Amino acid sequence: MVTRKRSALFVPASNAKALAKAAMLGADAIILDLEDAVSPSEKETARAAALRALGAGDWTAPLRAVRINALSSPWGEGDVLALASERLDALVIPKVESATMLRQVRQVMTRAVLVPGRSRPALWAMVETPRGILNVREIATSANELGLSTLIVGTNDLAKELRCDGLGQNREALLNHLSRLVLVARSYGLDVLDGVYNAFDDLDGFTREAEQGRRLGFDGKTLIHPAQIVPANTIFGPNQIEIKHAKAIVRAFGLKKNLGKGVINMGGQMIERLHLQEAQVLLDSIPARAAKPVRVPVRKSGKKKS
Ligand code: COA
Ligand code: MG
């Protein structure tokens, strides 16, 4: 069974209300954030709050991750030491520009006590700087050695560093870089997640961008608000039409008359064995029982309840 990453929600570990909801939201992955969403004065308390949240309650998200601060910051090493032994699926490393940066994180991880029976978290690398984009192939080449499983494009930082318009015109200014990440991820067997959509009260805009991400080949999208979870899960699917089509392909290749054939005619469409493989991967990705999503509507700005 493949663990899907259609939706990966950032939750600032310094926001008690958001953190309290994190365990019950229906995202495929929750990323507790200690980095950009947390101000310097809140770093230590946010780390403690993240550790408490990870230790409490039944989590509905299949994957739990924490985004740490860079090792070059005053908090990065402490983050890694505190989290490397937690029941955690991944450490998300910000602004990765080389395999060496990930190797350094791994080295710090070896200094943390390993709880018997627990494995070390995987690394998910955020690629969000020009050098990160340039070096992403070198980073991916070392994926096995480093326990790197996932690339995430950080579109806000990338657009800022490139001084380009990362949001306008269908993200035209970022398209080369987004495709490069997908190309590298597919070449080295990594998952790859698209960047966040900032206007969380514009679900039409979110849908357009997420659909573009899926067309480009991303496995899912990183999110900033719970209202984005349901649309992301739907868009990165598979949807009912795709499931039906995949089942029809498996059925057709199973027919006696088609046994041993490399290519068949299915209702006027050429279907090859590569489509059969694709269909099987799609069907294998569907869990037997999906977690029920919790809906959190967007509140209109400025109208806080309390
Ligand atoms: N995770 C969990 N819960 C969240 C959430 C998130 N990312 N974003 C909002 N919520 C909760 C709120 O706490 C609120 O709960 P409440 O009703 O108990 O107060 C509810 O969802 C509705 O939120 P809303 O009022 O629409 O938004 P907000 O003003 O509270 O928050 C942001 C807006 C942008 C500040 C918030 O969504 C956020 O911090 N997102 C993540 C930012 C981040 O991690 N950035 C770094 C990566 S790019
Ligand atoms: Mg960033």
Nearest CA to ligand 1 atom 39: 12
Note the pLDDT of residue 229. 97
pLDDT for 125-179, tens place per residue? 999 999 999 999 999 999 999 999 999 999 999 999 999 999 888 999 999 999 9
Give me 184's structure tokens. Answer: 């590298």
Compute CA distances 230 → 25, 43, 206, 291, 294, whole Å: 10, 30, 11, 12, 9
Whether the Cβ atoms of residue 64 and residue 27 lie closer than 8 Å to each other: no
Length of the chain: 306
Average pLDDT on 68-88 reads 96
Closest CA to 222 of 6, 8, 3, 4: 8
Q: What is the pTM of this model?
A: 0.92
Question: What pLDDT is attached to residue 306?
Answer: 36
Ligand 1 pocket, mutate which of 7, 15, 64 (most atoms under 8 A from CB): 15
Q: Looking at the CA of 153, which ligand is closest? A: 2
The set of protein residues with a Cβ atom below 6 angstroms from ligand 1 is: 9-12, 15, 17-18, 21-22, 33, 36-37, 196, 200, 224-226, 296, 298-299
Secondary structure class of 223 (helix, strand, coil) = strand
> What's the pLDDT tens digit per position in 244-264?
999 999 999 999 999 999 999
User: What pLDDT was estimated at residue 143?
Assistant: 97
- 285 pLDDT band, cuts 50/70/90, is confident
| Contact in structure between 138 and 98 (CB atoms under 8 Å) | yes
Mean pLDDT of the 94-109 span: 98
Question: Among the atoms of ligand 1, which is closest to the Cα of residue 36?
Answer: 46
Calpha distance 16→304 (Å, rounded): 15
Ligand 1, residue 31: give the atom nearest the CA. Answer: 44
Task: List phi, psi (to 5°) of 12.
Answer: -65, 125
- The full set of domains in the chain, from first to last, is 7-236 (3.20.20.60), 238-306 (no CATH)
Which atom of ligand 1 approaches the CA of 12 most closely? 44
Ligand 1 atom closest to Cα of 299?
26
**Side-chain half-sphere exposure of 118, counting CA atoms within 13 A:** 15
Give the DSSP per-residue string, 269-281: EEEEHHHHHHHHH
- The residue behind tokens 């996932």 is 150
> What burial letters (b/e) apply to 59-98, b meaning 16+ CB within 10 Å?
bbbbbbbbbbbbbebebbbbbbebbbebebbbbbbbbbbe
CA distance 248 to 257: 15
Contacts of 285 (CB under 8 A, 6+ apart): 1, 2, 4, 238
Distances (CA, A) of 37 to 11, 154, 204, 227, 232: 8, 13, 24, 18, 21
Pairwise CA distance, residues 226 & 94, whole Å = 22
pLDDT tens digits, 165-205:
998 889 999 999 999 999 999 999 999 999 999 999 999 99
Q: Give SS3 for 125.
A: strand
pLDDT over threshold 60, residue 275 = yes
Mean of all residue pLDDT scores within the chain: 93
Distance 225 CA to ligand 1 centre (A): 5
Contacts of 13 (CB under 8 A, 6+ apart): 19, 32, 33, 34, 38, 46, 47, 49, 50, 53, 66
Mean pLDDT of the 20-25 span: 92
Q: What percent of the chain has pLDDT over 70?
A: 94
Tell me, in angstroms, the distance from the centre of ligand 1 to residue 222's CA: 14
